[in-house]
Amino acid sequence: MVSALQKYATLLRQNEFKATQPRVKILEVLDKSPQPLTASEIHEKVSTLDIDLATVYRTLNKLADAGVLNRVELGDEFSRFEYKRVANHHHHHIICDSCGKIVEINLCNLDAIASDIAKSTGFTNIQHQVVFRGCCERCALKVS
């Protein structure tokens, strides 16, 4: 129990955060989640701690700004947050329009496009954000 939480405390200290209980708990929730979560989904899961949604939201944004967490935008009004299991692992997500299921996509060949953009615009350090949406297999079966 202690050693599992130690991992998050160490990660926080490495990034110059104090290892407070809410921060440790938020990291644990995200590490155990198979998909990125919104602030209110995380807030529900840390309901044993006495922290409000605004504090959860602020904490998440601070951790994401510091690079401790990934911020995931999927084209709706929510920011979602994801635990970085592998450092600097570039990947995308696809979200199901009907049930909200999110799946990680590990292939990306947009670097070729980025280098074309670099050539034609002179821009450097080009990054991209892409939103993939669709209908998951389970929902497709329900509809048809």
- Residue from 5, 64, 94, 96 binding Zn ion (CB under 5 A): 96
Q: Which is nearer to Zn ion, 5 or 110 (CB)?
A: 110
Q: How far is the CB of 107 from Zn ion (least distance, A)?
A: 9
Residues 75, 115: Cα–Cα separation, whole Å = 25
- Residue from 66, 99, 113, 118 binding Zn ion (CB under 5 A): 99
- Residue from 108, 113, 118, 131 binding Zn ion (CB under 5 A): 108
- The 3-class secondary structure across 105-144, one letter per residue, is ECCCCCHHHHHHHHHHHCCCCCCCCCCEEECCHHHHHHHC
Contact criterion met (CB below 8 Å) for 64 and 71: yes
* By CB under 5 A, residue 117 contacts Zn ion: no
Q: How far is the CB of 128 from Zn ion (least distance, A)?
A: 6
* By CB under 5 A, residue 103 contacts Zn ion: no
Residue 116 C-alpha from the chain's centroid: 28
